[in-house]
């Protein structure tokens, strides 16, 4: 068990032509003892590079990585007491499962053969692979190889597990099963785990906390619910949640003491309390999650009711995804659209005029120029 700290960690790669790539830019994260932290972000945002620096597979350009009170920047990978699980499993093809699992222990510990054998058996039982111990990786399915790769990490009883997209080669059903199993194992072992994925659903369902990266920089660290309900900026708001949050560009104006947000297609009065939060900026972005929009077929009755036309409906079984179009008489302006999700039993049809209710207590407001959340 260990506390892992990244302090202002930066990684710069220099390409052959001298061009510098800042893969990780000034990232600081404190990972608690026993925590399951998920590093998530789009392809190329620096997740793997961050993990590889913690593992000792990549040097740190500046900043420090601590394991408890030790700075481990210069500690060789094999001496870090960290076990890594790769997307490719990285099993030795010529060794049996038993040999794959015991190899690391024979190399790096003083443990006797009997103790190693017993630990391998115990871990294999925990992973449900005891019948596979004498097979070679080529004789295993992808899911079984994945269990062996995890078993090989677990048998070492390291201070920290690092996992780089370990489930991405499995089919959707097996991936969902392994997600749950991994969470259960992590809780049982209570070992600090840093898990990399580009899949926001995986991040939101697995992590105690998620650290969201974009373009090498840390955007937000928090519980999944925190990042969902209180995104710190436009990037996080758009990245977390499926379908994504709707965004509309708005200008702020004050009219007879009331603050009104105005888009090309509709206006949206806001309360004094909300107006105080957005006081400093006039170019804003209004954000609303698809599930927070209520659709009805009656006429607008409220200042936050907006007339819209249904463009398309996608039935998804338990819910419908409804594509809404906002229009007014000025044809020179761009059409504005939003996505709403409504329960599967609601009957709407494409082309129908409806009222979309956008409740003020569900909206997010961002500064259009900095992207920072204001409310």
What does the binding site for ligand ATP look like in residue numbers (CB under 6 A)?
13, 15, 21, 23, 41, 43-49, 198
Closer by beta carbon to ligand ATP, 43 or else 332: 43
Residue closer to ligand ATP by CB (options 215, 360) is: 215
Residue 32 CB, shortest distance to ligand ATP, in Å, is 23
Query: Nearest approach, Cβ of 25 to ligand ATP (angstroms)?
Result: 10
23 or 278: CB nearest ligand ATP: 23
**Alpha-carbon span 126 to 55, nearest angstrom:** 25
76: which strand partners? none
Sheet of 82-85: strands edge to edge?
Answer: 82-85, 160-164, 192-197, 36-40, 209-214, 217-222
**In which residue are the tokens 């209004």 written?**
286
Q: Which of 342, 367, 196 is nearest to 284 (CA)?
A: 367
Cβ–Cβ < 8 Å for 321, 243: yes
If the CB atoms of residues 48 and 102 are measured against ligand ATP, the closer one turns out to be 48
Whose Cβ is closer to ligand ATP: residue 162's or residue 274's? 162
CB 31 within 8 Å of CB 4: yes
- Is residue 119 within 8 A of residue 107, CB to CB? The reply is no
Shortest gap between Cβ of 216 and ligand ATP (angstroms)? 7
* Alpha helix segments (H runs only) across the chain: 47-55, 97-108, 113-127, 142-154, 172-189, 200-206, 224-229, 234-239, 272-277
213 by Cβ neighbours in 10 Å (0-12 / 13-18 / 19+) ranks as: buried
Q: Which of 270, 248, 274, 262 is nearest to 337 (CA)?
A: 248
> How would you write 80-108 as a 3-class SS string?
CCEEEECCCCCCCCCCCHHHHHHHHHHHH
CB of 231 to ligand ATP, least distance (A): 19
Question: Shortest distance, CB of residue 163 to ligand ATP, whole angstroms?
Answer: 13
Minimum CB–partner distance for residue 22 and ligand ATP (Å): 8
Chain Cα centroid distance, residue 270: 31
The encoded tokens of residue 136 equal 């070679």
Q: Is 279 helix (H, G, I), strand (E, B) or coil?
A: coil
Q: Which is nearer to ligand ATP, 41 or 287 (CB)?
A: 41
Q: Which is nearer to ligand ATP, 18 or 315 (CB)?
A: 18
Kindly state the smallest distance separating residue 190's Cβ from ligand ATP, in Å. 27
With beta carbons less than 8 A apart as the criterion, state whether 278 and 375 touch: yes
- Shortest CB 49 distance to ligand ATP, Å: 3
Q: Which is nearer to ligand ATP, 27 or 295 (CB)?
A: 27
Least distance (Å) between residue 159 CB and ligand ATP: 23
Complex with ligand ATP: residue 46 or 287, whichever CB lies closer: 46
């Amino acid at each position: 068990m260990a506390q892992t700290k990244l302090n202002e960690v930066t990684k710069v790669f220099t390409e052959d032509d001298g061009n510098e790539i800042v893969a990780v830019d000034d990232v600081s994260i404190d990972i608690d003892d026993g925590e399951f932290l998920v590093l998530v972000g789009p392809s190329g945002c620096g997740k793997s590079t961050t993990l590889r620096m913690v593992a000792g597979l990549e040097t740190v350009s500046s900043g420090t990585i601590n394991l408890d009170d030790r700075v481990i920047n210069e500690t060789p990978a094999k001496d870090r007491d960290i076990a890594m699980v790769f997307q490719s499993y990285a099993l030795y093809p010529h060794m049996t499962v038993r040999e794959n699992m015991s190899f690391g222990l024979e190399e790096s510990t003083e443990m006797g053969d009997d103790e190693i054998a017993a630990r391998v058996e115990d871990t294999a039982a925990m992973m449900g692979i005891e019948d596979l111990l004498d097979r070679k990786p080529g004789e295993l399915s992808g899911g079984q190889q994945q269990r062996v790769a995890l078993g090989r990490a677990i048998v070492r009883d390291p201070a920290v597990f690092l996992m780089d997209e370990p489930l991405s080669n499995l089919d959707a059903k097996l991936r969902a099963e392994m997600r749950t199993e991994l969470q259960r194992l992590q809780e049982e072992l209570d070992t600090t785990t840093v898990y990399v994925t580009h899949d926001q659903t995986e991040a939101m369902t697995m992590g105690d906390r998620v650290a969201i990266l974009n373009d090498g920089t840390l955007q937000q660290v928090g519980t999944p619910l925190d990042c969902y309900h209180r995104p710190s900026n436009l990037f996080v708001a758009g990245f977390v949640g499926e379908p994504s949050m709707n965004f509309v560009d708005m200008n702020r104006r004050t009219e007879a003491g009331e603050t009104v947000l105005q888009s090309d297609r509709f206006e949206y009065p806001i309360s004094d309390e909300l107006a105080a939060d957005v006081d400093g900026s006039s170019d804003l972005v209004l954000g609303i999650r698809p599930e927070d929009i209520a659709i009805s077929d009656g006429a607008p009755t409220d200042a936050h009711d907006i007339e819209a036309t249904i463009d398309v409906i996608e039935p998804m079984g338990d819910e419908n995804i409804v594509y809404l179009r906002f229009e007014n008489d000025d044809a020179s302006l761009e059409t504005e659209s939003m996505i709403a999700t409504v329960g599967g039993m609601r009957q709407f049809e494409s082309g129908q005029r409806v009222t979309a209710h956008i409740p003020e207590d569900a909206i997010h407001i961002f500064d259009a120029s900095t992207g920072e959340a204001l409310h």
